[in-house]
Structure 1
Amino acid sequence: MICIIGVNEIATAAAITCFHSGQRVWLYSRNGDMPLRYQVTFAEAIHQDVKTVENVTASLLPPELLSEQSGTQAERLAAATRFLWQDRKLPLLYQIDFETAREALQPEVIIDTEPGDPVSRIDQAALVIGLHPGHRAGEHCHLSIAGELNYHLGRICLPGNELPSPAADKHFFNDPFAYCQTPLEGLWVALKSPGEEVRYQEALGKVNDIEIRSPYDGQIWGICHSGRFMPARSSVAQIYQGPASDAYRDLGFREKAIARAMLEAVLCYKQ
């Protein structure tokens, strides 16, 4: 059984890849953050109950099973998770303490994809996989997967085998994306949708009725959901600066490369 922490693009790609290989997978979201490219992630299941990406569906646990009076909380969590697996869906646990969920479901493998401080600890599963460089092998996890956009992408990092820091390694691919930030905090209302083309100084949305304009030409691949309170200097849109296409609908090569490396690590562990 595999627990994947996060509902971002990498977590979604890892969940789909592991699911197609026959693994039992459940997802855990710490804070319900909605990524900019929400349309290609399982994050929308937090607000819509279910979300399908690449013909794989993630679902929140059925509330009627969690509210049953019989059994302990751990037994109800396990029963609700099994119910969704039998329906060929990926269970998504949200607003549940991670340690409670972990003790109830006892995953063999934990894959932590969330940025910042790791949610998991190295002693919480037989195999804990993190994302380099934020998660250090041997300290936060047993191994980590290189996630930087360079020629190390997807490499499995073991303890004592760390990769060069991004500052020391100049061999990066060109990043075709630019990000638009809001200079002030407030309630965000989007005026554009993923896939739309945008021109320099065209309004992307509003914060407290003040227009936030694009500093770039390009195609919108990700944009914040309306109704979110945005801190100052936070990203509200991801803009692709290459030719417009339908590729915004799909997970990218970076996420898929990381996901395949994560599956490789899982399969090697299970041999």
Structure 2
Amino acid sequence: MKRNSLIICRGGGDLATGIVHRLHRAGFRVLVLETDHPAAIRRQVSFCEAVYEGKATVEGVTAQRIDSVSEMEEVFARGCVPLFVDSKGASIAELHPDVVVDAIIAKKNLGTTKEMAPLVIGVGPGFTAGVDVDLVIESMRGHNLARILEEGSALPNTGIPGNIGGFTKERVIHAPTEGFIKNIHQIGDVVEAGTEIARIYENMDESGNFSGASVAVPATITGIIRGLIREGYHFPKGFKIADIDPREGELKNCFTISDKARSIGGSVLEAVCHHVNTCS
């Protein structure tokens, strides 16, 4: 494998962005594959926003949406990361990548197999090293975060978010009802517990006008809105839509890659470099 070979990352959310950012900065060519309606809440640090905006820049690295894989080389030549809408990964067989990283973080395998590339890496639960992928990267916070597993699986999802400032599940907000979201506050805003940060409406037309019955979404704790799903997104009841950081002095964290994403990104980079050195 050479440095001008191709790495494909399935997923462009905040954890995947940490991986892609690190690989790109190390000189590797990475293509991101995403769905047509990604639902990241940490949108300021997620390359998947390029699906909607055409481009997304995170810590000096820009991802640019392409409409055909034939545009990929032009984007690489500009020093950017190409992003292609391909939720099923159909383009992988066409492109014959050297490495595939599944960082969708779906808590289950959505179709990634060892046959997709000489090195296939799965991030988080849902994969078994040596069975459906070659390596698994642990995504659970704790002593084993970002550990590279050559056999077995990552720890199962507990449904309890990591502890930040003494808060776990309290800091994450789930939709109280199905509908379309209208954001009243934005990522980076400081809010008090009980403040209405968004409202969920029954209907939204093509022009973005909201109507019908609505339900308020209050802040669960006092702090900074670190993540908030894109306005107009439609979701079912119980869907994760926001994240509040209780550390009011940590505003910059809303706009920079997290420690977790950097750690996982470092382990993926290590695995890729080991593969490069072994196969060269």
Decide which of 96, 99, 107 is 1:109's aligned counterpart: 99
Q: 1:30 to 1:121 in 2, by over 3 A?
A: farther
2:265 is the counterpart of 1:259 = yes
Instruction: Say if 1:34 and 1:44, in contact at 8 Å, map to a contact too.
Output: no
Q: Distance in 1 between matches of 2:157 and 2:49?
A: 32
Offset, 1:166: 7.0
What TM-score, normalized by structure 1, do the two folds share? 0.86
Unaligned runs of at least 5 residues, structure 1? 67-76
Deviation at 1:163, TM superposition (A): 6.1
Q: Which residue number corresponds to residue 243 of structure 1?
A: 248
Q: 1:83 and 2:68 equivalent? A: no
2:38 corresponds to which of 24, 33, 50: 33
CA distance in 2: counterparts of 1:134 and 1:223, whole angstroms = 26
Q: Is the 8 A contact 2:36 2:51 kept in 1?
A: no
Determine helix, strand or coil for the equivalent of 1:52. Answer: strand
Q: Is the 8 A contact 1:138 1:158 kept in 2?
A: yes
Of 125, 140, 144 in structure 2, the residue corresponding to residue 152 of structure 1 is: 144
Aligned residues: 251
Change (3 A) 1:90 1:219: same
Q: 1:166 to 1:188 in 2, by over 3 A?
A: closer
**Deviation of the 1:81 alpha carbon:** 0.9
Which aligned runs of 4 or more in structure 1 are off by greater than 6 angstroms?
none
Equivalent-residue separation in structure 1 for 2:100 and 2:86 (angstroms): 18
Q: Is the 8 A contact 1:4 1:112 kept in 2?
A: yes
TM-score normalised by length of structure 2: 0.84
Q: Structure 1 CA distance, aligned partners of 2:220 and 2:87?
A: 39
Identity level (%):
23
CA contact (8 A) 1:197 1:244 kept: no
Describe the superposition over 1:126-153 as per-residue Cα deviations: whole angstroms up to 9, x where unpaired: 1100113332212221011111010101
Distance 1:223 1:165 in 2: 25
The separation in 1 between residues aligned to 2:246 and 2:274, in whole angstroms, is 38
How much has 1:214 moved relative to structure 2? 1.6
Q: How far off its partner does 1:21 sit?
A: 1.1
The question of 1:194 aligning with 2:187 is answered: yes
